[in-house]
Structure 1
Amino acid sequence: MNAKPIKHLVFTIAVLLILSGCSVGLVTVKTVSQEKPFATAVMKGDVTEATRCIGRYWQKEADELGFYWHVFVYSYQVHVTGEVTGGSTIGPVSLIIEFSEKNGKTIAEARVHSMFDENNPRRIITMKALDACKAR
């Protein structure tokens, strides 16, 4: 039995599950906000400076990733949407980086939807952005 059709079938099923999950609202700002942070860092500057730094870094990367990636910078958060199925759709907000001040330090906590593993660009780029903008 040829394994290629089986791999194609598994991939197709995975894509359909992802799309159906997104269409019924499984990937939302609320659900992503409820995930445990995958990264936390002490940032340089205040919340505004840290948010802008991460936002600029992510925007540069999003421009290189392509049309389906969007970065939204808010007062205390950066939201990122990205491709869901290899560039076929603009996905919902699937990454949130939240900033707060605790004990005189600016803290960033990054959360991503659990469907995206450690090799996903959302995680990889966020780790690089946190490193570029963290306190030294």
Structure 2
Amino acid sequence: MPDADATVPAARAVERLRLAEARLARRRQTECGPSETARAAMRYILERSDAGRDATPTEIAEHLGLSTASVTGILQRLRGGGLITFARNPDDGRSKRVVPVDRSTDLDDVDPLTAKIRGFAEALTAREAEHVARFLEAVTEAVDRECT
């Protein structure tokens, strides 16, 4: 069992990360383009496109853990920004597919912060990455369980 005093820096680092993410979310709402949720939706749309499959609004909502009504608003803003368009779903006339307008868009351009984080992760050894991943998964589960 690790020494409790030795684990304090990790707990403090997570708290600083949570505060930084909250500040970033507020800035993104007012100052710098799409929200984090809209960026996550766009990443998913581009990943699906790269895999040769279009996404549906329902799939995007499920992926993000949001209601379809919330996702509809996000998709309308992405369409208004010229990032996506809608196409009729040939398999189901009642639904539509979400298609990126410019597939030459690089995921790193949509979310440069994620690209930076991947770069930081590449500097870790496999063992370090495994430890960090386990720790962050536990933190994520605790955050997800909060206020539910």
Given the two structures, how large is their TM-score scaled by the length of structure 1? Answer: 0.38
**Length-normalised TM-score, structure 2:** 0.35
More helix per residue? 2
CA radius of gyration, larger in: 2
Structure holding more strand per residue: 1
Q: Which has the higher contact order (CA 8 A, sep 6+)?
A: 1
